[in-house]
């Protein structure tokens, strides 16, 4: 397959515009799922099934691209794309089994699944068919620092999700104050971890598609961390006042 540079640029710009649109459109209220779902729609999907189905394309599509592409002599490309797949393997096959959230609206699941499909194709196609790396890139500082940030962010994300998944007892529907790890400093520790992940990935690949995904992630879940923070402050009078929304000691 040849590099479709125009399509890569179109999808990358689309991610940034979609992120900015979401940031502006939801500046006063959050997407209607989870705790912000005032009136549940008629068609709902169990949370675990919804998460599994919506996240799976971002794992399967890059994997299929790797398996059906002529092997390059530059194995670093496959390492970078495998790093992307590691995140979505964890989200699809591990996190989906641990989560205890409320059912998802079908429309949210379908939209998320479409996004994961497009983004999985974008990141996979760019790295395998468009990216130009020399052998020195994979021993350079950007590659090493980017991967270090990615795995630090992933560790934060997984640890924070583990705390949230074990916050409630089986069949409990009440909200509790999360504690431990980076939740001692921010209300959206899981979101902070994921944002660090994708900006690390953008540094490691030094690519426009990865940067556009990182910016989309920041625009999409950054505000959600703020609204979670505001929710906790309003619901719990004893909520730690020094705790920030997303960035320790700053915001």
Picking from 196, 194, 185, 198, the residue whose alpha carbon sits closest to that of residue 245 is: 185
Q: What is the pLDDT of residue 31?
A: 60
- How far, in Å, are 34, 39, 113 from residue 107 at the CA level? 13, 14, 10
Give the model confidence (pLDDT) of 111-138 as tens digits: 999 999 999 999 999 999 999 888 788 8
Measured in Å, how far apart are the chain's first and last C-alpha atoms?
A: 44
d(CA 204, CA 215): 15
d(CA 227, CA 221): 10
Q: Quick check: 214 and 204 in contact, CB under 8 A?
A: no
Specify the pTM: 0.92
Rounded to 10°, the helix 106-125/5-25 angle is 140
Strands 44-45 and 104-105: antiparallel
pLDDT digits (tens), the chain, 251 positions: 789 999 999 999 999 999 999 999 877 766 665 565 666 677 889 989 999 999 999 999 999 999 888 776 567 889 999 999 999 999 999 999 988 778 888 988 999 999 999 999 999 999 999 998 887 888 899 999 999 999 999 999 999 999 998 888 777 778 899 999 999 999 999 999 999 999 999 999 999 999 999 999 999 999 999 999 999 999 999 999 999 999 999 99
Q: Quick check: 81 and 122 in contact, CB under 8 A?
A: no
Look at the chain and count its residues: 251
């Amino acid at each position: 397959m040849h590099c479709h540079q125009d399509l890569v640029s179109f999808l990358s710009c689309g991610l940034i515009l979609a992120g900015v649109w979401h940031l502006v459109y939801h500046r006063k209220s959050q997407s209607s799922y989870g705790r912000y779902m005032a009136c549940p729609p008629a068609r709902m999907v169990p949370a675990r099934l919804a998460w599994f189905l919506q996240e799976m394309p971002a794992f399967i599509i890059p994997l299929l691209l790797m398996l059906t592409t002529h092997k390059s002599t530059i194995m670093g490309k496959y390492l970078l794309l495998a790093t992307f797949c590691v995140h979505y393997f964890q989200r699809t096959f591990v996190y989906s089994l641990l989560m205890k959230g409320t059912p998802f609206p079908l429309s949210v699941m379908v939209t998320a699944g479409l996004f994961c499909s497009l983004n999985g194709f974008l990141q996979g196609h760019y790295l395998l068919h468009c990216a130009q790396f020399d052998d020195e890139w994979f021993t350079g500082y950007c590659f090493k620092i980017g991967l270090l940030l990615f795995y630090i962010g992933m560790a934060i994300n997984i640890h924070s999700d583990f705390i949230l998944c074990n916050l409630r007892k089986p069949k409990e529907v009440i909200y509790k104050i999360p504690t431990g790890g980076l939740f001692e400093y921010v209300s959206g520790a899981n979101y902070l971890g994921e944002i660090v992940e994708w900006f690390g990935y953008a540094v490691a690949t030094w690519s426009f598609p990865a940067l556009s995904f990182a910016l989309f992630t920041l625009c999409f879940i950054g505000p959600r961390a703020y609204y979670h923070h505001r929710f906790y402050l309003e619901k719990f009078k004893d909520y730690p006042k020094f705790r920030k929304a997303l960035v320790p000691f700053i915001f």
